[in-house]
A and B are shown apart, each in its own frame.
Chain A
Amino acid sequence: MTASSSQPQLTPHRRQPQLLPGTSDPYLVLGLERNASQPDVRQAYFELVRQYPPEKEPETFKIIRAAYEKLRTAAAQAETDLFLLQAPPDARALPGEPALDLAFRAEDALIALRGWGDLAREDFSDEFREVAL
């Protein structure tokens, strides 16, 4: 049960309605942003009802109506907002491009120098001696 191709012209603050059974987010169903005002809710509802009249598309109308009921009054909308699935953060929440330390450090030359000789050696078993008791 999806919206037919004859979608209404969307105003800038509106999204494509998702008329799927089982969609728990009434804003998605009505094609609204989360912070939609009561007039926006009513306008979206009536537009969708005109597009999907109950006598022609009763199942789709049921989905629209159920979503509208959840946002119908300011109190109902406030209650609905409390228990809505929250959208994940957008890219702005990501950390910035990390800063790398690419500079030369003279101490690294000392570390490299240790490679010659015993300082970087790990195995000294050749220096182990037998024990006589």
Chain B
Amino acid sequence: MVQQRKRRRDARDSHPPRSESAAELRERGKVEFDRGDYAGAIRSWELARQQAAGQPTLLARLTAALAEACFRRGVSASPPNLDDLKRALMFSPAEPRLKYHLARALHLWGRLDEAEALYRELLAGQPPCARAAWPLAQALLARRRLSPADAVWPLLSVEEQARLLRVQMLLGRRSRAAWQQAPRRGPDALWTGLAGAALKRPELALALQAALDDGSLPRQAAGVAHYYLGNARWAEDDRPAAMEHWLAASAAGLHTDRLRDNLAAGYLSLALRELRPDGLPRPDQLERAAQAIQPGLVLAPHHSGLLSARAFVLMHQGYAAALAGRWPAALDCWQQAEQTGEAPRALLVNLALAYEKTEKYAEAAERWRAVLRRRPRKAGAPDVLGEAQVARLWQHVADNYRRAGDFAEAIQTYRTALKWSPDNVDLQLNLVEALLADGRPRAAVGVVEPVVADHPKHAEALAWQAQAHEALGYAWSARKDWRRVLELDPEHPRARLRLAHLYEIEGDQQRHVGAFSRALGLYEKALLHWPANGRVMVSSGLCYAGMQNIGAARQQFERALALDERNLDVRFLVIRAWLELDRWPDARALLEEADRLEPAPPPGFYIDLAEYCQRLERAEWAMHVLELARPRYPDEPRLLVATAIVLGENQQAERAIGYLRRAVKLDPNLADAHLWLGNFYYAELRQPRLAARHWQTAEQLARRANDMQMLFYIRASKDFFQRGRSGPPAKVMAQLMGAFADFVDFDDEDDEGGDGDDC
């Protein structure tokens, strides 16, 4: 949206509205011209000119203004803009200034024929444009056509003629003559120095230095002097001095390819001196080399030598960091090395390892893939990989995809690995695992069943088959598989755990339909495989209670608690069981025992128990639970909400609202508190506007947290009360909770619909 707005604004700025009058456009152009926006001024005046067709005076003024704007824009560009200068001359053809600058621009662009013609036109004009003589002479010299017989020669000063002759000598390979004739002092000592450079005379430096010391040498000429002084110093192996001169040449505006290349090579040479010690380069040497390389790359970003040296430094710095266990730093170095374009296989391996260490598994997988692509393939090559190693690397690639959560890619890569090692059982089982993780149990069964058929005594294969069967909902087949796993490996931890779990689920199903004896048998089997499972012991106790054998039930509960008295999950289940059996003293004793534990149970422990008491319609038990928790957690907002609910149940709406307000103050983002405030305000205090405000806040918070259950409660509460129904909020909510549970249960049953075929 912002970008669209910006585009619209740009478009508006770049195209003045067509409705503007010629006068407005003229003024607008003037403002733009005065602030240096020559492009804007040209645009505005062009439009104004179109509208001023019938007004010759205005047209002439606009044309002159356009010529000036084009001239200014053209001459300010570096190199000068030929098109602008041509347009300027087109607008004002009689103006020598504009012709001169077009000639100069053509000269600088190397179009010497055209420049020469314009220079000559200027000199032939009335009055003659004298300033064209000097550049014309230079253009002729550059084309080796300058002669004292030329008409331009007499127009030059003696000094200019002398300079041209010296340069002519250098161009004509008459350096010796130039060397002998040129002065040793003053700015023209430059030509002596250049002749010395051509003749490779050691005194050249003296002459160049004298030219520079004079102080009147033009900037660009000084740049050339510094460049050759740098060359002389480099030849003498005084590399720092050479670099200084080259940098000075660059600062003086000399931008030749040779200067750039020599500077880059100079930086590389400085770096190489640091990087070629007897042994491995030390960290300080690497650092100095890196400092030398950096400015070189600014000058010549694609210099292959500098890039190689940078990659070398970074690979070493990365290696040192990795050996010290600083993997993020190592990764950073190797990533930069890779960006230089240098990616030997060793670097790819290190990058892959670093990505793994920093848990960037998708990137690691890609680098291992690159390692595989770049593996030597010619038989007999020193690092050639065998088929098993290739398969192993593909497996590793797939493992990384799996860790990255990209199961589809993992599956495909495991299949590639299997092409290299088709009988590799580990790989096949990896594939099964990935298929299961990708939610494709049927495909997993399709892979694992042939493996089990070929290797009936392979416990892991059987375990994966069991898991695949479980995922398909084939509980009976899964149990059979797990039992076979245990026959092969009686201590197989996953098999014991899963088998116990399957027996427990079936036991629960039997218990819920009142088949307590059968459930007890199944729980015993579960305990056989997972003897320290307190949850199953509590379930067994509930079976005995169902059979009216409270003594045996108590024994089971005590057995469960004895496993670990600090296990709050088991303790919670036992307390809940006693509550369900309407044995409050037993429940309370365990609750108070739990309350004395250090550290104390978390607030959720009390809140869940209070809610359970509420569900049993025993508000007094709920209040006792909450009163036990309150001194421990006086400022726990969820506990305050739970207390408010119980108070509401006991017709203490005002107190309940007080608790809820405190909860909201402590945590303004607690959707639950807002929902209940809404309910109480509506149902008990008859304040619908206040209620609506709290429901709205609750809804916003629930939507933000994507809490569908809370959204359901809020909407159902609003619906219930606003339709004119009434009732204590706690009762209403209990009904709504029941409705929500039915709704969810219905969904679950629907999901399990396809599972019945196994049984």
A115 touches B167 (CB 8 A): no
B350 touches A85 (CB 8 A): yes
Find A95's partner among B191, B198, B268, B323 (CB 8 Å cutoff). Answer: B268
Report whether over half of chain A's contact residues are helix, strand or loop; otherwise say mixed: loop
A112 touches B256 (CB 8 A): no
On chain B, the residues within 8 Å of A100 by CB distance are: 231, 234, 261-262, 265-266
A88 touches B312 (CB 8 A): yes
With contact pairs A100-B265, A115-B219, A120-B220 given, residues A128 and B347 touching in the complex (Cβ less than 8 Å) = no
List residues of B (261-282) whose CB comes within 8 Å of A's CBs: 261-262, 264-266, 268-269, 272, 275-276, 280
With contact pairs A104-B194, A109-B194, A133-B65 given, residues A94 and B75 touching in the complex (Cβ less than 8 Å) = no
B308 touches A95 (CB 8 A): yes
Please tell me if A113 contacts chain B, counting CB pairs below 8 Å.
yes
Please tell me if B353 contacts chain A, counting CB pairs below 8 Å.
yes
Please tell me if B451 contacts chain A, counting CB pairs below 8 Å.
no
| Binary interface encoding of chain A residues 56-68 relative to chain B, with 1 for a CB under 8 A from any of its CBs, else 0 | 0000000000000
A115 touches B104 (CB 8 A): no
A91 touches B276 (CB 8 A): yes
Please tell me if A12 contacts chain B, counting CB pairs below 8 Å.
no
Find A112's partner among B26, B101, B194, B312 (CB 8 Å cutoff). Answer: B194
With contact pairs A85-B322, A116-B221, A122-B78 given, residues A109 and B68 touching in the complex (Cβ less than 8 Å) = no
Please tell me if A101 contacts chain B, counting CB pairs below 8 Å.
yes
Residue count of chain B within 8 Å CB distance of chain A? 94
What is the CA–CA distance of A84 and B319 in the complex, to the nearest angstrom? 12
Please tell me if B224 contacts chain A, counting CB pairs below 8 Å.
yes
Please tell me if B142 contacts chain A, counting CB pairs below 8 Å.
yes
Q: Which of B131-139, B481-489, B571-579, B665-673 contacts A (4 or more CB under 8 A)?
A: B131-139
List residues of A (82-133) whose CB comes within 8 Å of B's CBs: 82-91, 93-95, 97-102, 104-106, 108-120, 122, 124, 127-129, 131-133
| Binary interface encoding of chain B residues 155-170 relative to chain A, with 1 for a CB under 8 A from any of its CBs, else 0 | 0000010011011001
List residues of A (44-61) whose CB comes within 8 Å of B's CBs: none
What is the CA–CA distance of A122 and B252 in the complex, to the nearest angstrom? 13
On chain A, the residues within 8 Å of B134 by CB distance are: 116-118
Closest-CB distance, A108 to chain B (whole angstroms):
5
B234 touches A128 (CB 8 A): no
Closest-CB distance, A73 to chain B (whole angstroms):
13
Q: Which of B386-394, B410-418, B514-522, B700-708 contacts A (4 or more CB under 8 A)?
A: B386-394
Closest-CB distance, A8 to chain B (whole angstroms):
23
What is the CA–CA distance of A102 and B392 in the complex, to the nearest angstrom? 54
Find A89's partner among B138, B173, B346 (CB 8 Å cutoff). Answer: B346
What is the CA–CA distance of A118 and B129 in the complex, to the nearest angstrom? 14
On chain A, the residues within 8 Å of B71 by CB distance are: 128
Find B353's partner among A85, A88, A95, A104 (CB 8 Å cutoff). Answer: A85
What is the CA–CA distance of A128 and B142 in the complex, to the nearest angstrom? 29
On chain B, the residues within 8 Å of A111 by CB distance are: 220, 224, 254, 256
On chain B, the residues within 8 Å of A133 by CB distance are: 26, 30, 58, 61-62, 65
Closest to B108 in A: A119
With contact pairs A88-B315, A100-B262 given, residues A95 and B322 touching in the complex (Cβ less than 8 Å) = no
List residues of B (281-322) whose CB comes within 8 Å of A's CBs: 304-305, 308-309, 312, 315-316, 318-319, 322
Please tell me if B141 contacts chain A, counting CB pairs below 8 Å.
yes
A131 touches B64 (CB 8 A): yes
B269 touches A117 (CB 8 A): no
What is the CA–CA distance of A119 and B75 in the complex, to the nearest angstrom? 12
Closest-CB distance, B356 to chain A (whole angstroms):
9
On chain B, the residues within 8 Å of A82 by CB distance are: 385, 389, 392-393, 396
**Chain A residues near B (Cβ < 8 Å):** 22, 75, 78-79, 82-91, 93-95, 97-102, 104-106, 108-120, 122, 124, 127-129, 131-133
**Chain B residues near A (Cβ < 8 Å):** 26, 30, 33, 58, 61-62, 64-65, 68-69, 71-72, 75-76, 78, 97, 101, 104, 107-108, 131, 134-135, 138, 141-142, 160, 163-164, 166-167, 170-171, 173, 175, 190-191, 194, 197-198, 217-222, 224-225, 227-228, 231, 234-235, 253-254, 256, 258, 261-262, 264-266, 268-269, 272, 275-276, 280, 304-305, 308-309, 312, 315-316, 318-319, 322-323, 325, 344-347, 349-350, 353, 385-386, 388-389, 392-393, 396
Instruction: Supply 13 further A-B pairs (C-beta < 8 A) apart from A101-B261, A131-B65, A132-B64.
Output: A82-B385, A85-B319, A85-B323, A85-B349, A88-B315, A104-B175, A106-B170, A110-B167, A113-B163, A115-B219, A116-B218, A119-B104, A131-B68
Name 18 interchain pairs, CB-CB below 8 A, sorted by A: A79-B389, A82-B389, A86-B346, A86-B350, A88-B346, A94-B308, A100-B262, A109-B167, A111-B224, A115-B224, A117-B134, A120-B253, A127-B75, A129-B68, A131-B33, A133-B58, A133-B62, A133-B65
